[in-house]
């Protein structure tokens, strides 16, 4: 654990070697096709993930969708165990959902909130979560309480602790915001939430697959993740973790016949475990692909992935600074999402100019993190996100290309 309350991989874990990175790139069909620096948007899958999806789609086409799911039942079940093991959870604490926001919403709307109670959150809050807070203000009469930053730019943990009282419905933190490079001290917030007995929901959309996560160490009650980003899974995948200590007390907002059984004309019974947050229909090809991606991350080791991404991101930050760009990143140990502007360069034009050269970046919008963008006056930015497959040659090529636009 570091002094900011987060487990750091760097002290004990070695980054991947050049040979290991070359091996991982050889297993990634797109790696030499584009310079992909948009892992925070959607990463490049491995051959194993892609083949897993294609094989299942072929099975569905050849023998029928329901029959293919029946045939693959054991492997479909195994995906839950893979994801659980990736984040230190138990199998029955994992629900499959089709995106991080659906997972987060399923958890958030199941939490009890009374009129006048507060939702404590922080500047890094993601737009979709903040929109849900505003909806909860309208629908449940709660109040949104945004805790400010400390001197590092992360959520001010001491201030958050001071704001905790018996009128808090929940604490909702975004671990890594969609832009801004920050890693919030999730475990320090977890300690406060647990001490006060307040439900704690963590948006780990950008941190799962990027950081070495352990839900027990973090102390969150709920955690939402996406498949397509740092986990390198398929688009259209996500998951929700719900701690078993509260699971059976949470009632999902719109359970279907998979999440519950219609036991009598005027009765239904919710499924035990996180299954109550799922829907019946789902892309099993995608789910199996996500399992392959989670297995790949476990095989490499998320501690080593974290250390590699950190090393690569620091190199890119150094080179961008040397080239005269402005960085907007926060925190004592920023992550693999680099946020930059260059004088006179429109971020969207830069993105399109780089794409012409086979380099993928994305654009960070103030509306995606409105609390933070208002607080710091953050403009539209270039969001350049690295992964363990990123090479130094790709970084140099990107910085050189940016300097010439
Ligand atoms: C911090 C954060 N949370 C949630 C999301 C939403 O993820 P999804 O599009 O899978 O719902 C994003 C997407 O970029 C994000 O960056």
Residue 45, pLDDT > 60, answer: yes
- Å from CA of 278 to ligand 1 middle: 19
Q: What is the rounded end-to-end Cα distance, in angstroms, of the chain?
A: 42
Distance from Cα 205 to the centre of ligand 1, integer Å: 5
Q: pLDDT tens digits for 181-211?
A: 999 999 999 999 999 999 999 999 999 999 9
Contact between 244 and 90 under an 8 Å Cβ cutoff? The reply is yes
Q: Which domains does the chain have, with CATH numbers?
A: 18-46+301-404 (3.90.1150.10), 49-299 (3.40.640.10)
Q: How far is the CA of 337 from the centre of ligand 1 (A)?
A: 13
Verify whether ligand 1 is closer than 6 Å to residue 31 (CB atom): no
**Beta-bridge mates of residue 77:** none
Pairing relationship of beta strands 337-341 and 326-327 according to DSSP bridges: antiparallel
pLDDT at res. 365:
98
Q: How far is the CA of 101 from the centre of ligand 1 (A)?
A: 6
pLDDT of residue 7 exceeding 50: no
In this predicted structure, the answer to whether residue 294 has a pLDDT above a threshold of 60 is yes
Which DSSP symbol is given to 336?
A: S
pLDDT of residue 187: 98
**What does the pLDDT read at residue 12?**
78
What is the arithmetic mean of pLDDT over 301-307? 98
| Rounded Cα–Cα distance for residues 255 and 272 (Å) | 12
* Average pLDDT over every residue of 301-321: 98
Q: Is the dihedral angle over the CA atoms 38, 39, 40, 42 positive or is it negative? A: positive
Confidence of residue 5 (pLDDT cuts 50, 70, 90): very low
CB proximity list for 65: less than 8 A, separation 6 or greater: 284
Would you state the structure tokens that stand for residue 79, as one six-digit string? 């995906």
Cβ of 190 closer than 6 Å to ligand 1, yes or no, is no
Percent of the chain whose predicted confidence (pLDDT) is above 90: 97
Residue 349 pLDDT > 70, yes or no?
Answer: yes
* Whether the predicted pLDDT of 11 surpasses 70: no
Q: How far, in Å, is the centroid of ligand 1 from the Cα of 66?
A: 30
Task: Inform me whether the pLDDT recorded for 240 exceeds 60.
Answer: yes
Helix (H/G/I), strand (E/B), else coil: 315 = helix
- 44: pLDDT confidence band, cut at 50, 70 and 90? very high
2 pLDDT exceeds 70?
Answer: no
Ligand 1 midpoint to CA 153 (Å) = 21
Instruction: Tell whether ligand 1 has an atom less than 6 A from the beta carbon of residue 178.
Output: yes
Nearest CA to ligand 1 atom 14: 178
Q: How far are the Cα atoms of 31, 139, 222, 353, 391 from residue 142, in angstroms, in the given order?
A: 47, 8, 20, 45, 47
Does the CB atom of residue 173 touch ligand 1 within 6 A? no
What pLDDT is recorded for position 149?
98
Which pLDDT value is given to residue 129?
98
Residue whose CA is at the smallest distance from ligand 1 atom 4: 205
Q: Which band of pLDDT confidence, cut at 50, 70 and 90, is reported for residue 9?
A: low
């Amino acid at each position: 654990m570091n002094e900011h309350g987060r487990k750091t991989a760097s002290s004990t874990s070695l980054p991947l070697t050049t040979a290991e990175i070359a091996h991982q790139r050889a297993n990634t069909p797109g790696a030499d096709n584009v310079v992909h620096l948009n892992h925070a948007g959607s990463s490049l899958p491995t051959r194993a993930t892609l083949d897993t999806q294609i094989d299942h789609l072929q099975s569905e086409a050849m023998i029928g969708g329901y029959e293919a799911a029946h045939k693959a039942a054991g492997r479909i079940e195994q995906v839950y165990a893979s994801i659980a093991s990736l984040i230190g959870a138990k199998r029955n604490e994992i629900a499959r959902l089709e995106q991080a926001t659906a997972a987060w919403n399923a958890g958030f709307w199941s939490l009890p909130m009374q009129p006048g109670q507060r939702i404590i959150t922080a500047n890094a809050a993601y737009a979709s979560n903040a929109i849900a807070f505003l909806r909860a203000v309208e629908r449940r009469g709660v109040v949104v309480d945004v805790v400010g930053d400390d001197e590092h730019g992360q959520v001010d943990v001491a201030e958050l602790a001071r704001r905790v009282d018996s009128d808090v419905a929940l604490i909702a933190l975004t671990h890594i915001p969609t832009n801004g490079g920050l890693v919030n001290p999730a475990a320090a917030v977890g300690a406060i939430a647990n001490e006060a007995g307040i439900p704690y929901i963590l948006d780990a959309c950008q941190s799962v697959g990027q950081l070495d996560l352990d839900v027990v160490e973090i102390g969150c009650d709920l955690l939402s993740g996406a498949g397509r980003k740092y986990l390198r899974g398929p688009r259209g995948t996500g998951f929700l973790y719900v701690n078993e200590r509260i699971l059976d007390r949470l009632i999902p907002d719109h359970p279907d016949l998979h999440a519950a059984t219609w036991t009598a004309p005027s009765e239904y019974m919710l499924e035990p475990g996180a299954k109550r947050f799922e829907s019946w229909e789902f892309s099993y090809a995608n789910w199996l692909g996500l399992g392959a991606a989670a297995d790949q991350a476990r095989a490499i080791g998320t501690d080593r992935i974290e250390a590699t991404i950190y090393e690569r991101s620091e190199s890119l930050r150094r080179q961008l600074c040397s080239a005269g760009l402005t960085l907007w990143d926060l925190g004592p140990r920023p992550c693999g999402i680099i946020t930059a502007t260059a004088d006179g360069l429109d971020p969207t034009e830069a993105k399109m100019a780089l794409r012409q050269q086979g380099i993928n970046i994305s654009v960070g919008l103030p509306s995606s993190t409105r609390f933070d963008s208002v607080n710091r006056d953050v403009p539209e930015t270039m969001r350049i996100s690295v992964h363990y497959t990123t090479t130094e040659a790709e970084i140099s090529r990107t910085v050189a290309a940016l300097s010439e636009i």
